[in-house]
């Protein structure tokens, strides 16, 4: 027995096709009705106008209406989740930049205190950015683990794996440079330690530390350097590489999970026929 | 017998039946344009890229000026314990540019003979040689102990336990008109031989001094 589900839209609200007797009696529409009809089509005509000049709908169909392998499951949403985490970081970061001052003497600490204590919803937006960074790092690793254990890094997707690893490194660099910005005791000393760990790389390490600090010691320009890397350099690089990552995913498609079996031979013959 | 070898291509475009070829022309205009676009594009990219790269990398090669800071009357420092003093290592950043220095007079029994004029007083940096946390001197045990990862140093600042890779850094000291001054920082290996200042976590014994070379940004080493 089939269960009949109730209609999601009540009957009264369903649009009805126009009948010959409608309108002002002679089959034509009254001006009011004509305006309503035209406004109903307005959205379609705007999309048509754009599509005629850009052919974007083809690209949209190419990107969104893809064949997906049998057995696709929730693990396949980890990439989109990471993308959402990045977008959330980007949006909250832009708005935090409206209040933040990268001034080492006291401005940075004071502006973060101002955001947390005085700005309306400031603590919430700062918290979203702060905890969102942890969420993003965790999601990147989960997404990477899914790709690894499902064997999705194999031919022809090796380049996408390489781009993904680059994105992982850039994400960790974001977390590293962002940690200094509140400029409190914790972030200051954690960054001192992190830069010194950087310096333990043989040969290049000491010079890398000098580059990050803009000199032999943590100084006034270290903070603005970290700020610039955090909010200009890395987000641009990450956005560009996410574009390349998504293009390759769309072009190559996703892999079937490793436990899904190949189709039976007879079925294969049928489809070939 | 027909000659099977193809005749060598003429270097002149006119001989190769390329439309619009000039007399004596050897490079086609298409090829010339491709080449010049690449050259000028490269020049334009370098004109933007090289100065900005140099701008960002500049501090790596900029040598710091050494400065000396007064920490008190030279006679006030004993030779059997340390007096903590606060000096500014990075001017212009307020509190974070300051660091603690543990100062005492040279002790012939512990430190051996005085090596030079900078060795009359010992000024030990409180920056741990592991990853740079601030260490504290404990009078009872006569040891420097780091709160972060448990690095322990003896009275001379040499490592006796924990993860640090070399002794605590020191500062040059000098006496001027009876006042003690603290100058630039330097690092020491386990035999307390002087090296230009290294960052924490970089060993100086054996191969260490070559794996972590001197940086361009540090002040000149006084011998």
pLDDT digits (tens, 9 = 90+) for B85-95: 999 888 777 77
Residue B53: the pLDDT is 94
For A216: left if phi > 0, alpha if psi spans -120 to 50, otherwise beta; the answer is: alpha
Domain endpoint, select from B61, B82, B117: B61
Give the whole-angstrom CA distance, residue B85 versus residue A217.
19
CATH, residue B124: 2.102.10.10
Give the whole-angstrom CA distance, residue A48 versus residue A45.
5
Average predicted confidence (pLDDT) for chain A: 89
Element (H, E) at B72: strand B69-73
**B130, B149 contact by CB (below 8 A):** yes
Closest residue in B to A217 (Cα) is B90
Instruction: Tell me, yes or no, whether B204 lies in a domain.
Output: yes
Residue A153: the pLDDT is 95
User: Which of these, B187, B104, B86, lies nearest to B142 by C-alpha position?
Assistant: B104
Q: Is residue A264 very low, low, confident or very high in pLDDT (cuts 50, 70, 90)?
A: low
3-class state of residue B203 by DSSP: coil
Instruction: Tell me, yes or no, whether B40 lies in a domain.
Output: yes
Residue A28 has phi, psi (to 5 degrees) of -85, 160
Residue A194: the pLDDT is 93
Q: Are residues B107 and B28 in the same domain?
A: no
Contact A199 B97 (CB under 8 A): no
Locate the DSSP E strands across B90-223. Answer: 98-105, 121-125, 136-138, 143-145, 152-153, 159-161, 170-176, 179-188, 194-195
Any A CB within 8 A of B111 CB: no
**A72, A255 contact by CB (below 8 A):** no
**B166, B173 contact by CB (below 8 A):** no
Structure tokens at A84: 């959402």
Residue B100 has phi, psi (to 5 degrees) of -90, 135
Give the whole-angstrom CA distance, residue B206 versus residue B194.
14
Instruction: Tell me, yes or no, whether B6 lies in a domain.
Output: no
For CA atoms A176, A181, A183, A186, the dihedral sign is: negative
Instruction: Tell me, yes or no, whether B131 lies in a domain.
Output: yes
Q: Are residues B74 and B49 in the same domain?
A: no
Q: Are residues B50 and B143 in the same domain?
A: no
Contact A217 B211 (CB under 8 A): no
Residue-number span of the structural domain to which B94 is assigned: 69-211
Residue B223: the pLDDT is 44
Predicted confidence (pLDDT) per residue in A165-174, tens digit: 999 999 999 9
A190 class by beta-carbon count within 10 Å (0-12 exposed, 13-18 middle, 19+ buried): middle
Contact A203 B200 (CB under 8 A): no
Instruction: Indicate the class that CATH gives domain A75-252.
Output: mainly alpha
**A199, B201 contact by CB (below 8 A):** yes
Instruction: Tell me, yes or no, whether B1 lies in a domain.
Output: no
- Residue B181, beta-bridge partner list: B70, B174
Chain B residues in contact with A184 by the CB 8 A cut-off are none
Instruction: Tell me, yes or no, whether B85 lies in a domain.
Output: yes
Instruction: Tell me, yes or no, whether B120 lies in a domain.
Output: yes
Residue B221: the pLDDT is 55
3-class state of residue B184 by DSSP: strand
- Residue B86, beta-bridge partner list: B100
Residue B124 has phi, psi (to 5 degrees) of -105, 130
Instruction: Name the B residues in 146-175 with CB < 8 Å from any A CB.
Output: 148
Q: Which of A38-52, A108-122, A158-172, B119-133 is predicted with the least confidence, judged by mean pLDDT?
A: A38-52
**B104, B81 contact by CB (below 8 A):** yes
Residue B151: the pLDDT is 94
Cα distances (Å, whole numbers) of residue B103 to A69, B115, B143, B198, B218: 71, 17, 14, 20, 22
Any B CB within 8 A of A109 CB: no
Arithmetic mean of pLDDT, A9-13:
77
Q: Are residues B52 and B75 in the same domain?
A: no
> Would you give per-residue pLDDT tens digits along chain B (223 residues)?
566 676 677 788 888 877 878 888 888 888 999 999 999 999 999 999 999 999 999 888 888 777 889 999 999 999 899 999 999 888 777 777 889 999 999 999 988 888 888 889 999 999 999 998 889 999 999 999 999 899 999 999 999 999 999 999 999 999 999 999 999 999 999 999 999 899 999 999 989 989 999 888 887 655 4
Instruction: Tell me, yes or no, whether B148 lies in a domain.
Output: yes
Q: Total structural domains in chain B?
A: 2
Q: Are residues B47 and B22 in the same domain?
A: yes
Arithmetic mean of pLDDT, A90-108:
93
For B180: left if phi > 0, alpha if psi spans -120 to 50, otherwise beta; the answer is: beta
Contact A203 B215 (CB under 8 A): no
Minimum-distance CB partner of B199 among A188, A206, A211: A206
Q: Are residues B38 and B107 in the same domain?
A: no
Arithmetic mean of pLDDT, A93-106:
92
Q: Is residue A113 very low, low, confident or very high in pLDDT (cuts 50, 70, 90)?
A: very high
Residue A81: the pLDDT is 97
Chain B residues in contact with A211 by the CB 8 A cut-off are 56-57, 59-60
């Amino acid at each position: 027995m089939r269960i009949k589900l109730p209609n999601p839209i009540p009957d009264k609200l369903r649009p009805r096709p126009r009948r010959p007797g409608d309108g002002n009696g002679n089959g034509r529409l009254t001006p009011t009705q004509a305006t309503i009809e035209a406004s109903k089509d307005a959205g379609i005509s705007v999309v048509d106008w754009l599509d005629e000049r850009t052919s974007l709908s083809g690209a949209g169909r190419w990107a969104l209406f893809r064949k997906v392998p049998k057995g696709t499951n929730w693990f396949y949403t980890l990439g989109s989740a990471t993308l959402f985490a990045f977008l959330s970081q980007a949006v909250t970061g832009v708005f935090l930049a409206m209040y933040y001052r990268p001034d080492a003497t006291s401005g940075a600490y004071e502006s973060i205190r101002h955001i947390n204590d005085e700005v309306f919803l400031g603590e919430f937006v700062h918290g979203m950015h702060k905890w969102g960074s942890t969420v993003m790092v965790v999601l990147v690793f989960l997404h990477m683990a899914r790709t690894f254990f499902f064997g999705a890094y194999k031919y022809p997707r090796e380049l996408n794996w390489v781009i993904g690893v680059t994105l992982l490194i850039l994400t960790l660099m974001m977390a590293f440079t962002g940690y200094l910005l509140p400029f409190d005791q914790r972030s200051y000393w954690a960054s001192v330690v992190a830069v010194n760990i950087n310096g333990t790389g043989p040969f290049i390490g000491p010079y890398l530390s000098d580059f990050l600090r803009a000199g032999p010691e943590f100084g006034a320009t270290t903070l603005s350097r970290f700020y610039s890397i955090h909010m200009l350099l890395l987000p641009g690089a990450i956005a560009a590489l996410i574009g390349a990552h998504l293009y390759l995913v769309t072009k190559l498609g996703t892999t079937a999970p490793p436990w899904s079996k190949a189709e039976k031979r007879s079925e294969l013959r049928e489809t070939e026929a | 017998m027909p000659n099977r070898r193809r005749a060598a291509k003429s270097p002149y475009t006119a001989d190769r039946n390329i439309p619009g070829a000039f007399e004596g022309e050897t490079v086609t205009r298409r090829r010339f344009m491709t080449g010049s676009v690449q050259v000028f594009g490269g020049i334009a990219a370098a004109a933007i890229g090289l100065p900005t790269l140099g701008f960002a990398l500049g501090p790596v090669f900029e040598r710091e000026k050494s400065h000396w800071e007064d920490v008190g009357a030279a006679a006030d420092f004993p030779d059997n314990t340390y007096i903590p003093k606060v000096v500014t290592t990075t001017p212009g950043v307020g509190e974070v540019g300051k660091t603690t220095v543990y100062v005492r007079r040279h002790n012939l029994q512990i430190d051996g003979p005085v090596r030079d004029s900078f060795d009359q007083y010992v000024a030990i940096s409180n920056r741990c040689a592991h990853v740079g946390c601030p260490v504290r001197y404990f009078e009872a045990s006569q040891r420097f102990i780091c709160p972060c990862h448990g690095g322990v140093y003896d009275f001379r600042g040499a490592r006796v336990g924990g993860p640090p890779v070399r002794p605590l850094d020191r500062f040059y000291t000098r006496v001027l008109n009876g006042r003690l001054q603290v100058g630039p920082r330097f690092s020491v290996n386990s035999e307390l031989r002087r090296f230009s200042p290294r960052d924490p976590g970089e060993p100086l014994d054996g191969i260490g001094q070559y794996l972590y070379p001197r940086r361009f940004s540090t002040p000149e080493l006084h011998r």
